[in-house]
Amino acid sequence: MCGKFSFDIVCKKCQNEYLKPKIRKKDGIISFYDYESIEYLLKYKYHKFGHRVFKMLSQNSLRVFASRIEEKFFIIPIDDKIDKGYSHTAVMANTMKNKYLKPLFNVLCSTSNVQYAGKSLQFRLENPRNFKYKGPENIDVILLDDISTTGLTLKEAKECLEKSGVNVALSVVLANLRK
């Protein structure tokens, strides 16, 4: 951002100045950033070193948020398939891990290979993710994704989990496009 040399993806000064998270709650979804302010960073999920970007964003927001939780929950990242050598949602879930929060990896997966990036609401409605859950039942979880644009992915994931006997206590994203 400032252009100065840093071993971090974004130097600490710029992180403190430009990437300060603010907890927001909209439509039952907790988020930390305005989508417009981190849009360019979120797009790094399509690049090999994107895991460093997501780790930085997650440490600045999700880790701080997780440190305030004092009840036991499992964290379920949405569709944490490995692509480009990593899964951005798995990186996010891992930064939240503490004595109360335990990530469950590769338990909620889409059975369709539909890419939603840049697609309309109508397209999203016509092409559901068709999630399949293969984890433990009768647990309390925090559902985790990078962004919420229409809320459909979180809604479909939550419905799948509830049908499988899982209680979704919270849905958490880095950024929520809906204000």
pLDDT at residue 108, rounded to an integer: 95
Query: 12-176 sits in which CATH class?
Result: alpha beta
* pLDDT value of position 1: 65
- Name the DSSP class of 111: S
Q: Look at residues 102, 104, 96, 126 and name the one whose alpha carbon lies nearest to residue 114.
A: 126
The one-letter amino acid at 13: K
pLDDT on residue 14: 80
Block means of pLDDT (10 residues each) for the chain, 179 residues, are 75 84 93 92 83 92 96 94 82 97 95 78 83 96 93 94 96 89
- The pTM score is 0.88
Map residue 175 onto helix, strand or coil.
strand
Q: What per-residue confidence (pLDDT) applies to 95?
A: 97
